[in-house]
Amino acid sequence: MLPLPALLALTTTVFLGCLTEVLPAGLLLGMSAELGVSPSATGQLVTVYAITTALTAIPLTGATLRVPRKRLLLVLIAGFLLTNLLIAVSSSYPLILAARVVSGALTGVMWSLVAGYAMRLAPPGLTGRALAVAMSGTPIGFALGVPAGTALGELADWRWAFAAMALITVPLLAWVIAVVPAVPADPAASTRPLAAFRLPGMRPVLATVALFSLGHNVAYTYIGPVLAGLDVARMLGVVLLVFGCATVGGLVVVGAALDRHPRAVLMFCTGVTAAAIVLLEIGDGVHGLVLTAAALWGLAFGGAPTAFQAVTALIAGPTADAAQSLTIAAWNGAVAGGALIGGLLLPSGTSSLPWVAAFVILVPLTFSRRVVLSAPAYRCLDA
């Protein structure tokens, strides 16, 4: 039986990390006006966050591997409290940018920590479901948190959205203290996460992670211009809502299958995501096809991060915490790369973005059989 109170505390931590990362995109205009900077400069608050997470995940995870897991989790949550509170009260763009850098570094460690924590709390045979529960904070953040935070920023002020995130951490700290079991650090654990790169099957997985995230962000970052090119720009809000809600369903599907068929789950996520992005383009603005594409895209994307982290843990076995930092670095580096590539393609027209995105996402299918799931302790190899 899954330890749901503890896992839901981890879910809330993931929700907080996800919302902290992406919320400025929904508050962009209000923040720009009050801080006296361009919307482009405000958008860099998201880009810098992702780049910081990518650059710091590996070294900071390595430096904290021997810290007791619960203590580290509490420190990270307290860090989110302080950085979001600072953003809520500050009128200085440079200071807010610095706070975003610190938050990005915290998030890199958080993703690595929570994935391993959830799988260590689960009984044998249920590690995939435990990870799916913990990581459900990400699709919930996209589906509910971002729209709610954006609405709060529009109704009151963008500062209240960041203040609300800071307030969430107070009961969360008490919740973690009360219900999350202490998990000791492994004193013999390697503090060199890069050593996991040499494990059999790790390089194909990391390539899959990077290419999937790269392709997804080429299209998703510029979904507004893509819809405008199809003459359905007014559907942006509905498309994002359908996508966000479908990600929750995708996580449920992946969580149910992950323990028994991890490799098949990876192929499902990549194949369906690419097909949905192509459907969006060839649907030629037909409303039903646009919404179907958004639903399929969200369904396949919703479980992808969880699947990647689970397969990483399967390959790494006892060094899973260290190996997770490689996955986090690959994913977040590709977030920034996808936005960059999409921005370079945009002047030539939006029609090329979905095709390039789909091609990049499908490349990993050519070497998916090289993914070696070699951690018998988790007992979830494909047949």
Residue range 232-271, pLDDT digits in tens: 988 887 888 888 889 888 888 887 787 777 778 888 999 9
286 and 164 in a common domain: no
198 and 244 in a common domain: yes
368 and 241 in a common domain: yes
332 and 345 in a common domain: yes
Condensed to tens digits (0 to 9), the pLDDT of residues 279-328 reads: 999 998 999 999 999 999 999 998 888 888 878 877 877 677 778 888 88
Confidence of residue 364 (pLDDT cuts 50, 70, 90): confident
Structural domain span for residue 296? 191-382
Condensed to tens digits (0 to 9), the pLDDT of residues 126-146 reads: 877 888 788 888 878 877 787
298 and 152 in a common domain: no
Q: Check the CA dihedral 25-30-31-33 and report its sign.
A: positive
103 and 173 in a common domain: yes
Of 142, 159, 189, the residue at which a domain comes to its end is 189
Contact by Cβ (8 Å): 277, 293:
yes
255 and 123 in a common domain: no
207 and 180 in a common domain: no
Of 153, 171, 189, the residue at which a domain comes to its end is 189
Structural domain total, the chain: 2
* Total Cβ atoms within 10 A of residue 347: 6
Condensed to tens digits (0 to 9), the pLDDT of residues 158-178 reads: 999 999 999 999 999 999 999
Share of the chain above pLDDT 90, in %: 35
Six-digit token string for 234? 């007014």
375 and 260 in a common domain: yes
CATH number at residue 336: 1.20.1250.20
Confidence of residue 380 (pLDDT cuts 50, 70, 90): very low
Q: How big is the CA angle at 332 (ends 245 and 31), to the nearest 5 degrees?
A: 70
274 and 157 in a common domain: no
Would you call 45 exposed, middle or buried from its count of C-beta atoms within 10 A (0-12, 13-18, 19+)? buried
233 and 185 in a common domain: no
Confidence of residue 228 (pLDDT cuts 50, 70, 90): confident
Of 169, 189, 209, the residue at which a domain comes to its end is 189
CA torsion, ordered 294, 297, 300, 306, to nearest 10 deg: -100
CA distance 281 to 18: 28
Predicted local distance difference test score (pLDDT) of residue 38: 82
237 and 222 in a common domain: yes
Predicted local distance difference test score (pLDDT) of residue 379: 39
Condensed to tens digits (0 to 9), the pLDDT of residues 33-87 reads: 899 988 778 877 888 888 898 899 889 988 888 889 999 999 999 999 999 999 9
CA distance 120 to 185: 12
